[in-house]
Amino acid sequence: QVQLVESGGGLVQPGGSLRLSCAVSGSIRSINAEGWYRQAPGKQRELVAAIDSGGSTNYVDSVKGRFTISRDNAKNTVYLQMNSLKPEDTAVYYCNADLWQFDSGSGSYSLYDYWGQGTQVTVSS
């Protein structure tokens, strides 16, 4: 059974830093793309940062220059380094991954979408 296990959230003062981790466990062939989303109270979930299989990244404008997404392929883990945090970064952060898995029904590999359980990030003095 594939799971995405997140860690690293918490309470931090404005200007501080946190690093989120998302580890993929279970039987997969490879990771196609991964991303971090966030959802603040009363707001829609938004894509914060993404990284594709080739290592290309993109970010929402509000975090450019402050957040960095990266991946350790050997550990099947994606990270989100968050620096210069602001109160408006407060949200539940979710990891998302598109994973290649063997589909016994079709006898071939297919892409499946998974979500982590979410981790709370609170930026407050």
Whether 5 shows a pLDDT value over 90: the answer reads yes
Q: What pLDDT, in 10s, does the model give residues 48-60? A: 999 999 999 999 9
**Rounded to an integer, what distance in angstroms lies between the CA atom of residue 15 and that of residue 86?**
6
Residue-level pLDDT at 30: 82
Q: How confident is the model at residue 27 (pLDDT cuts 50, 70, 90)?
A: confident
Averaged pLDDT of the chain:
94
**Residue 6: strand pairing partners:** 22
Residue-level pLDDT at 114: 95
Span 92-98, mean pLDDT?
A: 96
Residue-level pLDDT at 109: 87
**Rounded to an integer, what distance in angstroms lies between the CA atom of residue 13 and that of residue 87?**
8
